[in-house]
Amino acid sequence: MNERRQQDGSMAAERKGALRLEHVSRSFAQGAARLEVIKDASLTLPRGEMVALVGPSGSGKSTLLHIAGLLERPDGGEIWILDNPSSRLSDARRTELRRTAIGFVYQYHHLLPEFSALENVVLPQMIAGRSRRAAAERARELLGLVGLSQRLRHRPAQLSGGEQQRVAIARALANAPALLLADEPTGNLDQHTADDVFALLGKLVHEMQVGALIATHNLNLAQRMDRTITLRDGVIVQL
């Protein structure tokens, strides 16, 4: 009966939208004035869609990702994760949502250097409450999907840049998030490796039905995503 309820809950979660922003705004103090970085931003991201977020440096892309990932609170508006309003939740509840519903991939992999590839994917699962045995099984599965079955015991320093980022992608997907947020995930890679990593990321996003919002300056990569939005003067422009 418990297993049936878990399956029903999982199916219900899959039907929910990954992310919705409604009239979100964010500003920062700049001397005596305030700099408006995000202005009345609205966005809907369903599961299984890969959306490029483009805009010039300083346009607020990272700030928007931080707000969507519940790392910053907006000054106004609402953030919906899996159709649940999230901007006014307690810090503890926001942390829980980040742990279970949101995955992050950054330009630099941020792997823990003293741990192996396998351990880097196991740890976030154990923090979320999964047993070590189940976490290791899931980590092996994910690292196999990203082509690293033969590199499980290697530490980050023993891996190439592309391999490190593949581990980072596996780690981001370890807790089966509904939402994946990526900030220039291929920015530190050469073109060939970047293309390979991006193709892998897109394949996993669509197969696992994750909603992905990916900030990038690479317009070639943006054109390969399902949709592109531009952040211009703090406003989201749908293309």
Q: Please write the tens of the pLDDT for every residue from 17-40.
A: 899 999 999 988 877 888 888 999
- The total domain count for the chain is 1
Q: Please write the tens of the pLDDT for every residue from 95-112.
A: 999 999 999 998 888 899
Q: Find the domain containing 229 and state its range.
A: 2-238
Q: Please write the tens of the pLDDT for every residue from 189-230.
A: 888 888 888 899 999 999 999 999 999 988 888 999 999 999
CATH code: domain of residue 72 = 3.40.50.300
Instruction: Kindly report the pTM of this predicted structure.
Output: 0.87
Closest-CA residue to 69 (of 99, 46, 44): 99
**What is the spatial distance between Cα 198 and Cα 193, in angstroms, rounded to a whole number?**
8
pLDDT of residue 112: 94
pLDDT confidence bin for 56, thresholds 50/70/90? confident
Query: Which residues have CB under 8 Å from 216's CB, separation 6+?
Result: 52, 53, 54, 184, 185, 186, 187, 222
Q: Please write the tens of the pLDDT for every residue from 138-176.
A: 999 999 999 999 999 999 999 999 999 999 999 999 999
